[in-house]
Structure 1
Amino acid sequence: MAEYAVAMRNITKQFPRVLANDDVTFLVRPGEIHALVGENGAGKSTLMNILYGLLRPTSGTIAIYDKPVDFQGPGDAIANGIGMVHQHFMLIPPLTVAENVILGQEPSHRGIVDVTHANKMVRDLSEQYGLKVDPTVKVETLTVGIEQRVEIIKVLYRKAEILILDEPTAVLTPQEVDELFEILRSLQRQGKTIIIITHKLQEVMAVSDMVTVMRRGKYVGNVATKDTSKEELANMMVGRQVLLQVERGQAKPGKEVFRAEGLHAVNNKRLPVLHDVSLSVRAGEILGLAGVEGNGQSELVEVLAGLRKAEKGRVYLDEQEITNLSPRVIKEHGMGHIPEDRHRRGLILDYSVAKNLILGLHHRIPFVKKVLGIEVMNFPQIHQTADKLVEEFDIRPPDRENLAGNLSGGNQQKVVVAREFNHNPRLLLAAQPTRGVDVGSIEFIHRRLIQARDEGKAVLLISADLEEILSLSDRIAVIYEGKIVGILSPKEATEERLGLMMTGGGQ
């Protein structure tokens, strides 16, 4: 047997302005579940994209099962038994499971695609690896957890012996995570080698055999999971001690700041997506909203922020009705909004950090001033505010003139968070505030949310991360198929109970 299934030695990848991988060595033994962890911008995805043939290294060597390889593209990686399941699934919704799996490698009989044979092959793979997927159903009818199984079957169909999974649990419920881990263990028992890229250290500890840590493009260390801890891994990733659960005192809720009554809304296809949603948040309180993605929470946030019309119902902020007002007017009433998609809703990537930090108030004093009766940008004030926020929120690199698009995901999120906090809102709408953010930035953002609560702000936290919901919330509401199916105190809530409610399993 080969000593290593994957041996990447002295890998360097130099982009025009960024050294993404700096002399990295990454070794994976056959049959391991091997976790690759690190902060945003640590170089994990670049390294795995090199392994999958999407990128070529500037220097260094790769061997697969002790055989030197030089991949010119993903086709070469696939031919050498490597498959990759990307964080954002690459499935075609109107096609069936089997049609998605065989796409590009269709079995045929006399020049015609043999659908019956394709269905049988996919069903056999599904049963062999415990994946439990019907090959004849359309992908558009599947849950996210089942879609992920289809992606795994796709790489197994192409005879992958080494599977790379990028953030595989990002959108799964706790029950789906448990099912995925059992699938990974089943694959391991049948001889597969698995590499998972993740930032969820609890899951690293639960499923992996070995862990490789990267920091700022460099290899930091390689440890057996049984010989380490979440705390040690976090310290290796960040280079300092990290609090994995932010300390917080007892909430002291005051008067009601925000109230939604009987909200109904439709999605972009004009289909009903919110059904009689009612919520309230008090000053000095974090209300967490838990739910599997796609159950109406995105549309709810858009309705509250003025980005989508409510068909019925009312929204109040400090007893003033703000239903269906424009986003600018709602912001001026005292609502801050950390959007779930920082690229589409939170930033203008071609603008500087300084300009992004004043968006939303860019038209108001002190960021504009009158010169000869004409309103112009007050750049000294803009720069002063930007420099203060860059330092206070530890935005890296600390350059206000840097374009937002040049920052790592974690630092882009810090720009959004800094701006919304600086607006001093009475209600902070925080949607997926730590999505795609590394452990150090998560700690920082959690601290700021607790600080906002303790300063008397009302916080509505919408997150698909149950660990985040449980560690920050003073009350927890659960949304399922566009309805609020229950509101629990933290004492009543467990991951298992919330996971059941999130999938319609009762209260």
Structure 2
Amino acid sequence: MKSLSWPYRIREIPLKLELRGITKRFGDLVANDHIDITVEPGEVHALLGENGAGKSTLMNQLYGLLQPDEGQILVNDEPLVFRSPRDAIAAGIGMVHQHFMLVPVFTVAENIALGSEETRGGPLGWLDRRRSRRDVIETSERYGLPVDPDALVEDLPVGAQQRVEIVKALTRDVDLLILDEPTAVLTPQETQELLAVMRSLTAMGKSIVFITHKLKEVKAIADRITVVRRGKIVGTASPDTSEEELAALMVGRAVSLEVSKTPAEPGRSVLKLSGLVVDDDRGVRAVDGVDLEVRAGEVLGIAGVQGNGQTELVEAVMGLRELRAGTVELDNESLATLSTKRILRAGVGYVPEDRSHDGVVKEFSIAENLILDMYDRPPFGNAFKIDLGSVGTNAKERVEQFDIRCMSPDNAVGTLSGGNQQKVVVAREMSRPLRLLIASQPTRGVDVGSIEFIHGRIIHERDQGTAVLVVSSELDEVVGLADRIAVMYRGRVLAIVSPDTPREELGLLMAGITGNAREEETE
């Protein structure tokens, strides 16, 4: 079995990858249990499984970030040992991580050059920036992945940052690309662009390992599907396998892909927005005179292509963004001058769209994250101390109730998969009495079994008399959960419609075309 040393190359195109008996343990937890997978040249091989099933752990071993306790990795039938990502790259394997490995204040070209810098004037010379720019331009043109080499990464939208990660891998001349939950934070439009890129790469002879839990995307792009559950392979499938069958393989039981609910019984007006005007971070008008009302015992869904003011609207309600005009009232009391902490204390639950930035503190434990907005209130503590016993008891209950996959509630929340981090946020926000629940992208990055559970919790809140505002870029989710749908376009609410409105009409509204949808009168 060979160990690689940079820039050692053993491969010839096309590249065939084989994993034999890969096993990885963390203490008593068996993350991967004798995994066997073969990836043929030029195919998209989907690795499908729940959050915490062991998919990313497996790929981190393939990329040299972890070493297996047992088993072999073979490239073109030759056993290799990857001690680092450099070894994997030398063997022709690249990886785009779920959480991008980019430096926000660096340019695209600087990020792509990191780790393989070309210098002028010898090894201790200066970075050859012209060479770096040229490599970026040549690679992006060759593979149809347009990126601006001079743009700062922090200024790029998420979809463009992902293109940078892919270009970075391709400049290393890799033949197999691992995409770890690549669509978890993408809009539907960005997702379609990514799938098109994947098709073009395989047409050029590249192989792709596509790690995901999204059934529609797997069926749309995969050549073969391997399903992993709790660290073991539980089955293989073809793309024509039904979503229901794939979901059952993933979760180990039948999963309802439809939201189960009875008709709503709306009560009093809980949240009322009148003439709301909000600017985005650049000072450009993002919300332009919005009037909305959410009543007790109903779910109001906001539909629209992401970037049409939904984010700014929610942030204004939560006290995270200044109002330029208009009012925000909770049970007829103004929220405009209240801090976010006081808004939460007033009985508002908030699931933010970006859990990493606004939902969790990754360095804190799971138990601590479950009480972030309640740490100084009984039974968890007061202004002077925290009751660690109550915090621990609460964590154990929530971990079990919300099926948060972790080794211990005392572990840092940053060690969890993205979907399990989302469950921590949902568990925290839905485990206290609420008057209003605001759920923005509530199931982003979450597997089908957890989606079913989270949807059930949202409907449970509705049925308990809570007013619920759901914002999602997934139209199926909005239609399934909502009792009324407000469609936003360029900062305005174009119409409020019934969830049984034909998809074609909803699509037209989301594109800014009015006149066909059946608008409802709001009370």
Q: Same fold (TM over 0.5)?
A: yes
Alignment of 1:412-427 (within 5 A): 412-427=421-436
User: Which 10-residue stretch deviates more, 207-216 or 105-114?
Assistant: 105-114
Equivalent position to 1:74, from 82, 85, 92 = 85
Correspondence for 1:249: 262
CA, structure 1 residues 292+108, in 2 after alignment: closer, same or farther (shift >3 Å)? Answer: farther
In structure 1, give the amino acid aligned to 2:210: I
CA, structure 1 residues 154+218, in 2 after alignment: closer, same or farther (shift >3 Å)? Answer: same
In structure 1, give the amino acid aligned to 2:460: Q
Q: Is the Cα–Cα contact under 8 Å of residues 171 and 293 in structure 1 kept in the other structure?
A: no
Q: State whether structure 2 residue 172 is matched by structure 1 residue 154.
A: no
Correspondence for 1:232: 245
Q: Is the Cα–Cα contact under 8 Å of residues 398 and 427 in structure 2 kept in the other structure?
A: yes
User: Which 10-residue stretch deviates more, 213-222 or 190-199?
Assistant: 213-222
Post-superposition offset of 1:193? 0.4
Alignment of 1:426-465 (within 5 A): 426-465=435-474
User: Which 10-residue stretch deviates more, 122-131 or 48-57?
Assistant: 122-131
SS at match of 2:208: strand
C-alpha distance in 2, partners of 1:68/1:54? Answer: 17
User: Which 10-residue stretch deviates more, 302-311 or 320-329?
Assistant: 302-311
Q: Is the Cα–Cα contact under 8 Å of residues 476 and 488 in structure 1 kept in the other structure?
A: yes
**Which whole-Å deviations, capped at 9, do the CAs of 1:54-86 have from their partners, x for residues lacking one?**
111122110112222111111111111111122
Correspondence for 1:167: 181
In structure 2, give the amino acid aligned to 1:284: G
User: Which 10-residue stretch deviates more, 413-422 or 356-365?
Assistant: 356-365
CA, structure 1 residues 83+413, in 2 after alignment: closer, same or farther (shift >3 Å)? Answer: closer
Alignment of 1:11-22 (within 5 A): 11-16=22-27, 18-22=29-33
Q: Is the Cα–Cα contact under 8 Å of residues 284 and 458 in structure 1 kept in the other structure?
A: yes
Q: State whether structure 2 residue 327 is matched by structure 1 residue 314.
A: yes
C-alpha distance in 1, partners of 2:363/2:133? Answer: 47
CA, structure 1 residues 65+424, in 2 after alignment: closer, same or farther (shift >3 Å)? Answer: same
Q: Is the Cα–Cα contact under 8 Å of residues 72 and 79 in structure 2 kept in the other structure?
A: yes
C-alpha distance in 2, partners of 1:420/1:352? Answer: 17
Q: Is the Cα–Cα contact under 8 Å of residues 281 and 458 in structure 1 kept in the other structure?
A: yes
CA, structure 1 residues 95+254, in 2 after alignment: closer, same or farther (shift >3 Å)? Answer: same
Gaps of 5+ in 2: 1-11, 515-523
CA, structure 1 residues 100+365, in 2 after alignment: closer, same or farther (shift >3 Å)? Answer: closer
Post-superposition offset of 1:238? 1.1
Correspondence for 2:75: 64
In structure 2, give the amino acid aligned to 1:163: L
Correspondence for 2:352: 339
Post-superposition offset of 1:31? 1.1
Q: How does the TM-score come out when normalised to structure 1? A: 0.83
C-alpha distance in 2, partners of 1:91/1:148? Answer: 10
User: Which 10-residue stretch deviates more, 198-207 or 147-156?
Assistant: 147-156
Q: State whether structure 2 residue 46 is matched by structure 1 residue 35.
A: yes
Post-superposition offset of 1:367? 6.4
Correspondence for 1:176: 190
In structure 2, give the amino acid aligned to 1:317: L
Gaps of 5+ in 1: none
User: Which 10-residue stretch deviates more, 144-153 or 472-481?
Assistant: 472-481
C-alpha distance in 2, partners of 1:277/1:118? Answer: 46
Q: State whether structure 2 residue 18 is matched by structure 1 residue 7.
A: yes
C-alpha distance in 1, partners of 2:214/2:439? Answer: 20
C-alpha distance in 2, partners of 1:106/1:67? Answer: 29
C-alpha distance in 2, partners of 1:362/1:282? Answer: 30
Correspondence for 1:144: 158
**Which whole-Å deviations, capped at 9, do the CAs of 1:299-347 have from their partners, x for residues lacking one?**
5434323345435432111112122313443234332223345566555
C-alpha distance in 2, partners of 1:145/1:386? Answer: 35
Q: State whether structure 2 residue 185 is matched by structure 1 residue 206.
A: no
Post-superposition offset of 1:445? 0.6
Q: Is the Cα–Cα contact under 8 Å of residues 214 and 447 in structure 2 kept in the other structure?
A: no
C-alpha distance in 1, partners of 2:65/2:201? Answer: 25
Equivalent position to 2:200, from 186, 196, 207 = 186
Equivalent position to 1:47, from 58, 71, 76 = 58
C-alpha distance in 2, partners of 1:311/1:243? Answer: 43
C-alpha distance in 2, partners of 1:71/1:145? Answer: 30
**Which whole-Å deviations, capped at 9, do the CAs of 1:166-185 have from their partners, x for residues lacking one?**
12222333333222222211
C-alpha distance in 1, partners of 2:421/2:140? Answer: 40
Q: Is the Cα–Cα contact under 8 Å of residues 5 and 28 in structure 1 kept in the other structure?
A: yes
User: Which 10-residue stretch deviates more, 202-211 or 466-475?
Assistant: 466-475
CA, structure 1 residues 345+91, in 2 after alignment: closer, same or farther (shift >3 Å)? Answer: closer
Post-superposition offset of 1:470? 3.1
CA, structure 1 residues 52+294, in 2 after alignment: closer, same or farther (shift >3 Å)? Answer: farther
C-alpha distance in 1, partners of 2:105/2:376? Answer: 45
C-alpha distance in 1, partners of 2:231/2:307? Answer: 35
Alignment of 1:96-107 (within 5 A): 97-105=108-116
SS at match of 2:246: helix
Q: Is the Cα–Cα contact under 8 Å of residues 4 and 66 in structure 1 kept in the other structure?
A: no
Q: State whether structure 2 residue 98 is matched by structure 1 residue 87.
A: yes
Correspondence for 1:329: 342
C-alpha distance in 2, partners of 1:143/1:419? Answer: 29
SS at match of 1:448: helix
In structure 2, give the amino acid aligned to 1:45: S
Post-superposition offset of 1:494? 3.7
C-alpha distance in 1, partners of 2:378/2:112? Answer: 57
User: Which 10-residue stretch deviates more, 248-257 or 286-295?
Assistant: 286-295
In structure 2, give the amino acid aligned to 1:7: E
In structure 2, give the amino acid aligned to 1:78: I
C-alpha distance in 1, partners of 2:80/2:139? Answer: 28
Equivalent position to 1:285, from 294, 298, 301 = 298
In structure 1, give the amino acid aligned to 2:79: P
Q: Is the Cα–Cα contact under 8 Å of residues 284 and 454 in structure 1 kept in the other structure?
A: yes
C-alpha distance in 2, partners of 1:251/1:271? Answer: 37
User: Which 10-residue stretch deviates more, 157-166 or 127-136?
Assistant: 127-136
Equivalent position to 2:37, from 6, 26, 51 = 26
In structure 1, give the amino acid aligned to 2:454: I
In structure 1, give the amino acid aligned to 2:317: L
Post-superposition offset of 1:32? 0.9
CA, structure 1 residues 220+271, in 2 after alignment: closer, same or farther (shift >3 Å)? Answer: same
User: Which 10-residue stretch deviates more, 295-304 or 17-26?
Assistant: 295-304
Equivalent position to 1:220, from 226, 234, 258 = 234
SS at match of 1:281: strand
